[in-house]
Amino acid sequence: MHSVAGSPGDPKCWSTRLRCAILMNICAYVFIGNLYAAGLATGFAPLAHDLGVEFDTLTGLVAWAVFALGISNLFWMPTAMCIVFLAGCTWSIKATGFRDLLASRIVASFGAGSIEALGPSIIADLFSERYFATAMALFALSLCAGSQIGPMIAGFVIGSKGWRWFFIVCAILGAVNFLASVLFLPETTFRHRLTDVGDVHAAEFEKEAKQRTEHRENENSPRSYWKDLISIRDRGLEPEGLKCWPGQFSLPFRFICVPMVLFATIAYGIFLSGIVLISAISPQFLSAPPYHLSSSAIGIYTLSSFLGIVIGYPIAGPFTDLLSRWAAARRYTTNNTHHPKDRMPALIIPFLVAPPGLILFAYAIASSKSLYVSATGYAMQASALVFVPSVTMSYIMDVYPQSGSEAIVLINAGKNVVAFGVTVSGAGWVDRDGIVRVCWELAAVQWVVLALALPLYV
């Protein structure tokens, strides 16, 4: 029994232009959502003045937004409505006080998190294995770009127009993305029909199905595009309808005790914590003497973290794949057997680079060294955001090819909860112990967490 790849309505048979348009829509959505959540940190100085609150209180605006982004992964998987994000942005524009602004950011981030849960599933529906990695790479890069370039964009907007204009820009981008999604984001869930291929060899059937997928592109589908846009037939609806809806919430929790999923969640979350913590406390140090940086200048400074991601991204993927092939070849088997754990030695790179970067940042800021030194440490810490997910999520998808997306939902939610726990107490932690001690302690935790990969590998 095999699924027919060329079935009418199969998203993999849609035209290349439509599939790319859908990919661009979800990449734009994840970019805007993370831009909204992380960008505000560069505007803490004018916010503190306008709202009459301290810097350590303002960190909650980032921490709770990160928390809502993560928790929404568990909720939005069965019920996605991006209009909530647009409503939250509009509320932020009209916020009159700190609590009002905090509530609006939680609502907007809760809506924005929907695409972090649905994006990988949509990409899997649209693209065959041959193109899946490329599409996922673009999605992941858009996610990182939103959180790392976002503060720079916010810095310039807040510096020239004020912090409310940052939310106006987010609302405009969200409205355009929402309209584009209405027009160019049809439902992609599709329940493939099974067919008995008889004596046809499986490899020949798969080859034929692949050719249909790549060349027919739905040319014989009876539906027009506009009918397909609003149709939900053949879209994998559960036979029991809404009766199964509550059960969808429990699916990711099946993996909560799986060691590799726990490791991926904690490792991803603790390195994300380092980035969010730096982003939240940097304005407090950089806007004060001896730096006296404006919001726009702080925005440019935070771009260093994205440079770390851009530099690390081409290394992370190819390097882990190379390790996997090399390990398989060393077994001297006739078929070069691949083991999912073969990628895990790549975690040595973030072990050697990321925690020292956090320590370098702390010493540079504490001793008022050149901004280039602390920016280098910031970039080193950020590089872990491509290495850790590249290794751990590839491992999980290898081990659980059919249900791995549910584990990814749990990881996305868990990592943001871990980052929230560190960030929400970050400002008080720094005030009490000093930035150097805080970064040393966090770096030590990162080293210990990565060391836990050794038992999983052995």
Identity of the residue numbered 151: P
Where residue 266 falls among pLDDT bands split at 50, 70, 90?
very high
Separation CA 426–CA 66 (nearest Å): 14
User: Would the CA dihedral through 5, 10, 15, 16 be positive or negative?
Assistant: negative
Is there a contact between 362 and 443 (Cβ–Cβ < 8 Å)? Answer: no
- Are both 233 and 340 inside the same structural domain? no
Residue 249: per-residue pLDDT: 65
- Are both 256 and 239 inside the same structural domain? no
**Is residue 229 over pLDDT 80?**
no
Please report, rounded to a whole number, the percentage of residues in the chain having pLDDT higher than 70: 76
Separation CA 342–CA 312 (nearest Å): 20
| Domain of residue 412, residue span | 250-458
**Residue 78, CB-side half-sphere exposure with 13 Å CA sphere:** 16
Q: Which of 65-79, 204-218, 337-351 has maximum average pLDDT?
A: 337-351
Rg for the chain, CA atoms, rounded: 23
Residue 206: per-residue pLDDT: 46
> Which of 247, 269, 293 marks a domain boundary?
247
- Are both 24 and 109 inside the same structural domain? yes
Burial of 79 by CB count in 10 Å (0-12 exposed, 13-18 middle, 19+ buried)? exposed
**Is residue 403 over pLDDT 80?**
no
> Which of 247, 279, 310 marks a domain boundary?
247
Residue 441: per-residue pLDDT: 95
pLDDT digits (tens, 9 = 90+) for 269-286: 999 899 888 988 888 889
Separation CA 386–CA 267 (nearest Å): 12
**Residue 216, CB-side half-sphere exposure with 13 Å CA sphere:** 19
- Are both 240 and 107 inside the same structural domain? yes
Residue 169: per-residue pLDDT: 92
- Are both 373 and 256 inside the same structural domain? yes
Where residue 434 falls among pLDDT bands split at 50, 70, 90?
very high
For the segment 342-362, the average pLDDT, to the nearest whole number, is: 92
pTM for the model: 0.72
- Are both 270 and 212 inside the same structural domain? no
> Which of 247, 276, 299 marks a domain boundary?
247
| Residue 204 belongs to domain with CATH number | 1.20.1250.20
Residue 242: per-residue pLDDT: 52
DSSP string, 217-271: TTTT-SS-HHHHHH--TTS---TTGGGGHHHHTTGGGGGTT-HHHHHHHHHHHHH
pLDDT digits (tens, 9 = 90+) for 73-121: 666 544 445 677 888 888 899 888 888 999 999 888 888 877 776 777 7
- Are both 363 and 399 inside the same structural domain? yes
Q: Which of 93-107, 215-229, 371-385 has maximum average pLDDT?
A: 371-385
- Are both 351 and 440 inside the same structural domain? yes
Please report, rounded to a whole number, the percentage of residues in the chain having pLDDT higher than 90: 16
pLDDT digits (tens, 9 = 90+) for 191-209: 555 444 444 444 444 444 4
Residue 70 C-alpha from the chain's centroid: 10
Q: How high does pLDDT run on average in the chain?
A: 77
For the segment 2-16, the average pLDDT, to the nearest whole number, is: 63
Residue 215: per-residue pLDDT: 41
- Are both 229 and 260 inside the same structural domain? no
Residue 53: per-residue pLDDT: 84
- Are both 402 and 284 inside the same structural domain? yes
- 437 versus 400: the higher-pLDDT residue is 437
| Residue 449 belongs to domain with CATH number | 1.20.1250
Is there a contact between 358 and 381 (Cβ–Cβ < 8 Å)? Answer: yes
**Is residue 211 over pLDDT 50?**
no
The structural domain count of the chain equals 2
- 326 versus 90: the higher-pLDDT residue is 90
Residue 219: per-residue pLDDT: 44
**Is residue 420 over pLDDT 70?**
yes
Give which of 309, 305, 302, 257 is closest to 414, Cα–Cα.
257
- 361 versus 181: the higher-pLDDT residue is 361
- Are both 191 and 256 inside the same structural domain? no
Separation CA 279–CA 59 (nearest Å): 9
- Are both 230 and 275 inside the same structural domain? no
